[in-house]
Amino acid sequence: MIEIFSRKKKGKSLRELFIELSVLTKEAFSMMKNAVLAYVEGNFKLAEEEADKTIAIEKKQDRIKEEIFARIFSRETMVFSRSDRIFVVENIDKITDQIELVAQKLLLYKTEIKEPLQNGIKELAILNEQIGEKVHEMVLNVLDDFEKAKKNITQITDLRRIVREKRWELQKMNYHFHDDFMSFRYVETLIKYLMEAADRAEIFADRVFVLINKYAL
């Protein structure tokens, strides 16, 4: 077992900041799911509230990212090199940036999503939340147990594959059930953004796998 981060006597250690960054991404996935479910059910007020919370999480994460970067060249030791520390932070940030795009999308336009697509879009949002949980577990495990982190990587890949299959099924349904071009285009893009949130998580997982192989003893 490897202790990836050393502790700092005062304030939060880099390890704790990395975990906090991951926790916020997990929360962003959850808030995004809540916003999507509310939107699909026609509760636009609640959808806006949850979308705003999601956007606020992204901004809070940016502040933590800045703190990590301010201290990343300090004397705190880590097994990961400084360039790889930046690499991890940037990839976590890209996931939350994509989640924020979904939230921003929900604030742009109000339309009734046809019933045949409702459950499928909800499922995409729930699958994304599950991916967020596995991403957080992966970050926790890569700090202490590479083998457990590898299992999380496989789980993220499997969930993302389900999202991809559901995405094409929903896009096909969208052509059949949304005659209005504005509604069709909006739903098409919403589905695409949900897919891309899952994609960003898988890309991060793939890159963590490379780091594991780089630093494994």
The Cα 144–Cα 139 span in angstroms is: 9
Per-residue pLDDT of 102-113, as tens digits, reads 999 999 999 999
The Cβ-side half-sphere exposure at 156, using a 13 Å CA radius, reads 28
Per-residue pLDDT of 2-44, as tens digits, reads 444 444 445 788 889 999 999 999 999 999 999 999 999 999 9
Sorted by where each starts, the structural domains of the chain and their CATH numbers stand as 14-215 (1.20.58.220)
Please give the model's pTM, rounded to 2 decimal places: 0.90
